[in-house]
Amino acid sequence: MLGVCAIGVGTLLLSGCDGFRVNSSNFSDTTDITQKIASVRIDNGSGAVRIRTGATSSVKRTVYYRSDNKPGQTHRVEGDTLVLNECDQNNCSVDYEVTLAAAAKVMGENRSGEVEVTGMSEVGVRAGSGDIRIKDVPGPVTVNVRSGRAELANLGQSAVVEASSGDVVVNGVKGDVTIKAHSGGTEATGVEGKASISSASGDVRLDMVTAQSAKVTAQSGTINVLVPRGQAYRANVTTSSGDKTINVDTSPDSKYVLDLEARSGDVQVDYR
């Protein structure tokens, strides 16, 4: 069952807003959701998407449009899946604020606009242009952002991130971490699993809270790795142009392998 309550209608006249929203008409409404939602599918063209848990389930949207025709419904429930669609007309964007009574699996793509997901069970999202922020997720997380910053925090399983242009910041991951950054800095802290990080352009900082193996490659940038005490590490470190500083105990027989390569930049390994 869906119940829609219109909040407001107006005309956006502010300068400094993004794109066509300047001088666009806009309205907001809220839809209460009574069905149990197990998953959310994002298929939005332009606009922000924010999803979190709360006491009850609802979808609030703000719609911006340039047309004599006011856009209709852009979201629906299919079985136990909430679908967040784009407008079915040109020059239109939708901001979604979704509140769910229970954690759900979140998948899909937001082609232009930020994505923020908090407290869901599992996440696999893509963003064409806009930042992605994911936190407090007990299940696996996969993120792909073409132009924007990726921030992940407090994850219960693995994290896989690919960023074409923008920084990657990961903090607190109980599982393995895999990061591929094409242009931007990379920081992964509080990592309990194995780490595999590739950076084409940007510095890499890795802080591992448990003894694990790590593979880090930086084509242009420095590599700084922190590891816990109490273990020796097998350090395979190469630099084409830069210094190597290894301030930890090493052993060729250790099962914990630090495979670190910097094409242009320094490599340093220290204890936490």
Averaged pLDDT score across all residues of the chain = 93
Q: Residue 188: which of 157, 220, 153, 222 has the closest Cα?
A: 153
Global pTM value? 0.91
E strand or H helix that includes residue 187: strand 186-191
Burial zone of 199 (CB within 10 Å; 0-12 exposed, 13-18 middle, 19+ buried): buried
- What does the pLDDT read at residue 15? 31
- What does the pLDDT read at residue 21? 63
Q: What angle do CA 186, 192, 194 make, to 5 degrees?
A: 70
- What does the pLDDT read at residue 68? 83
Q: How far apart are the first and last CA of the chain?
A: 53
Taking only the tens place, the pLDDT of each residue in 151-173 is 999 999 999 999 999 999 999 99
Is the pLDDT confidence value at 203 over 60?
yes
- What does the pLDDT read at residue 18? 52
Region 237-250 average pLDDT: 97
Is the pLDDT confidence value at 222 over 90?
yes
Interatomic CA distance for residues 27 and 204, integer angstroms:
43
Region 67-96 average pLDDT: 95
- What does the pLDDT read at residue 24? 79
Region 215-230 average pLDDT: 98
Is the pLDDT confidence value at 49 over 60?
yes
Percent of the chain that is helix, strand, coil (3-state, to 5)? 0, 60, 40
